[in-house]
Amino acid sequence: MLFEGDRIAADVYLKTIAGRFYVYVLCRPDGRPFYVGKGLNRRVLEHEAEARRNHPVGEANPFKCNVIRKILRDGGEVIYRIDTIYDPAEQQACLEREALLIKTHGRLHEGGCLTNLAGGLGNLSGAAPHSLARHADTLSGEPKDNPERAILNRFLQGIGPVGSVPVKPIDQITRILPTTPHPQPRSPTPRCAYALIASASASGQQLVPGVVLPRAFSYQGVAAIIENGVSRDILKAGMASLVAASNPAGEAYMLSEANIAILSRLVGREALSERGLL
């Protein structure tokens, strides 16, 4: 590690390495890393600036921004680390170091501490393990012929592994139905929990009693919606209360303290806190 300090000190240090690539680590006030990246010039400082703008719809990685907002909300400061520096001709080595640090610390859905969605090497490693079969690609992987589905699948797999992603591009659902509780008994499941977490993360909301999470939201420019069946299961399993709307795409879910406790049980309170949701 070549440098560690707050935002002001980092700004000063970056001027001494202008024009060179570097691998950086964003850390919580207690020193635990939560994001690793490759930068040039002031890149490492742009994440905090993005989080301070608090425009979740345009955020490429809401998990990272939510953690930054939580740190600032609690009166803390992001700790900046510059791990290594590289000349312009050494970009590949820079990418490899970034990927190694991500693998070493691990991403949240892998049991690690990082909010990174991809594993480095120019995002070539994907967001999470998934089958190479075309059908599985469509359900949970990153289908090359459906970029909007790929973006949402990567987002959800960054929360937790699912065989079929519960959030779909809104224009790829033939008919969006009003949500009514499923007629058969349903128990709370991680898949339903991930759908609610995705909505909270993408809309930049904390999980506090009374929070209202939209069924439809936007992530990286993709208009998304929690699919019909999952929405019904959420209600039937008692994971949220429905805020009805004349247009089903305008529906929302209100969470009580008991609902949030269910999410904490399914996903883990620490995992929710690590994503800046608690």
If one counts every other C-beta atom within 10 angstroms of the C-beta of residue 179, the result is 23
Instruction: Give the range among 117-131, 168-182, 230-244 with minimum mean pLDDT.
Output: 117-131
Averaged over 47-68, what is the pLDDT? 84
- Output the CA torsion 253→256→260→265 (10° steps): -110
pLDDT for residue 139: 40
Question: Letter for the amino acid at 109?
Answer: H
How far apart CA 218 and CA 108 sit, in angstroms, is 22
Mean pLDDT, rounded, of the chain:
88
Averaged over 49-53, what is the pLDDT? 89
Domain ranges for the chain: 3-110, 134-274
CATH number of the 3-110 domain: 3.40.1440
According to DSSP, residue 208 is labeled -
How far apart CA 179 and CA 23 sit, in angstroms, is 46
Instruction: Strand 212-214: give its sheet, edge to edge.
Output: 212-214, 252-254, 241-243
Q: Can you list the alpha helix ranges (DSSP code H) found in the chain? A: 7-15, 43-53, 62-73, 91-105, 134-140, 147-157, 190-202, 228-236, 257-267, 269-274
Averaged over 201-214, what is the pLDDT? 94
Q: What is the pLDDT of residues 77-119, one digit of tens each?
A: 999 999 999 998 888 899 999 999 999 999 988 889 999 988 8
How far apart CA 24 and CA 46 sit, in angstroms, is 12
Averaged over 21-37, what is the pLDDT? 96
Provide the whole-model pTM: 0.72
124 has pLDDT over 60: no
- Are 182 and 256 contacting, i.e. CB atoms less than 8 angstroms apart? no
- Burial (CB count <10 Å: 0-12, 13-18, 19+), residue 162: buried
Q: Which residue has the higher pLDDT, 141 or 31?
A: 31
